[in-house]
Amino acid sequence: MKCTFILVLACFGLVIQSPSPNRAYDLWHGEESLINPVKNSEDARLSNLCESFAKNDKTTRARMRASLTEDDIYSLLLFSQRSSVFAIREQNVAHLINGLRAIAMIDLKKVDPRDVLLPLSFLYHSAGRIKQNPDKLFRDALALSEPKMSELIVGFVERSPQDKDLRSSWGYDEVETKNGIGFIGWEFEKYNPTYDLKMIAIEIADVVAADKYHPTGVTVAAKLPATWLQTKDNTLLDQTLPLARGGASVFARLHPQAHPESESQVLMIFLEEMPDEAAAQRLLTLSKSKRPSDYAMLGLAQGKLFCLIVARSFVAEVKSIETSESISRFSDGIGKVLAKYVAKP
């Protein structure tokens, strides 16, 4: 993506371009993740842009809004989500105000409205977490917004508390990381683990990131799809898998420079906490009985924890670059993560 953010000042016949037009959030450096974001120069640049937008008159704001490209808009949406994390960490409402200014800068006709609702849910959640009045903050942003965006914001504020709840309606939950609060995906499945599956999943994602894959999704309250372990007789699977206390998942993409077919390759890791070690071992036995020909698969078990690693291509007629033997390189790193948590009292 390239952020251009061009402001056309017609009265002077000038075009003023952003001082860092080629800077954007980098997927491959983890800047699109909300689990543990770290402030960078793009956050500072967009904060300054949002403050400038708010200080300008209505005509200039309209010109700024009209100059935004699709890439610019999605950078602003991500900025608003990152701002919601930093607001909680620093207990600073200024991050929320700028996050809402970023939303107000967008012309709703240029974006799918559903892509705006998720950032609004993060900002609303964070406002409550730092004891601010989210309804007031949102309504204050209306003065900077174009009519359709104002309508969307008002509609969000008027939703029921349940419909605005970050976890139950929007599929994200808080997670405590080494740098403070972040947000992790939530998939609505049964979730009553005795282990900290959030942190286990994050540490597994770190193992993956040290390889040639980049984690693009880390979720809890997830479910291992039975299809990966199904055989001709699924009696044991059907008896065992529903016993899981809770699950998590990590999805990752292959780095572009790693292989010519990188765009088609995906790595999936499913984690389940079972009620006892015997149940985890049954799933491990089932994973070992599989002999897939069109994807790679490897099962691991430590105590009550079962982990399934799957690598495949999601494009027809494009083979997986991995084999069950090649993905065994993840066994040591992921195994150590599982063992560490199993050993904890």
pLDDT tens, residue by residue, 261-311: 899 999 999 999 999 999 999 999 999 999 888 899 999 999 999 999 999
Across the range 204-208, mean pLDDT stands at: 97
pTM, two decimal places: 0.89
Which band of pLDDT confidence, cut at 50, 70 and 90, is reported for residue 6? very low
pLDDT of residue 316: 83
Which band of pLDDT confidence, cut at 50, 70 and 90, is reported for residue 13? very low
Domain limits, CATH 3.40.1000, in the chain: 187-343
Mean pLDDT value across the chain? 91
Cβ neighbours of residue 280 closer than 8 Å, sequence gap 6 or more: 272, 274, 301, 302, 303, 304, 305, 306
Across the range 10-28, mean pLDDT stands at: 46
CA dihedral 255, 2, 149, 162 (to 10 degrees): 20
**Distance in angstroms (rounded) separating the CA atoms of residues 299 and 287:** 6
42: part of which helix (H) or strand (E)? Answer: helix 41-55
The C-alpha angle with vertex 89 and arms to 87 and 92, in degrees rounded to 5, equals 40
Under a CB-based contact definition with an 8 Å cutoff, are residues 96 and 87 in contact? yes
CATH architecture of 187-343: 3-Layer(aba) Sandwich (3.40)
Across the range 203-223, mean pLDDT stands at: 96
Q: Which residues of 161-183 are buried (b: 16+ CB within 10 A; e: fewer)?
A: eeebebeeebebbbbebeeebbb
Q: Would the pLDDT of 19 be above 50?
A: no
Q: Pull the structure tokens for residue 33.
A: 């993740």
Under a CB-based contact definition with an 8 Å cutoff, are residues 134 and 144 in contact? no
Q: Which residues of 86-113 are buried (b: 16+ CB within 10 A; e: fewer)?
A: bbbbeeebebbbbbbbbbbbbebeebee
Among 5-19, 62-76, 177-191, 193-207, name the one with the lowest average pLDDT: 5-19
pLDDT of residue 30: 81
Which band of pLDDT confidence, cut at 50, 70 and 90, is reported for residue 23? low
The C-alpha angle with vertex 84 and arms to 80 and 87, in degrees rounded to 5, equals 125
**Residue where the block lists tokens 């083979």:** 319
Q: Would the pLDDT of 123 be above 60?
A: yes
pLDDT of residue 196: 97
Q: Would the pLDDT of 62 be above 50?
A: yes
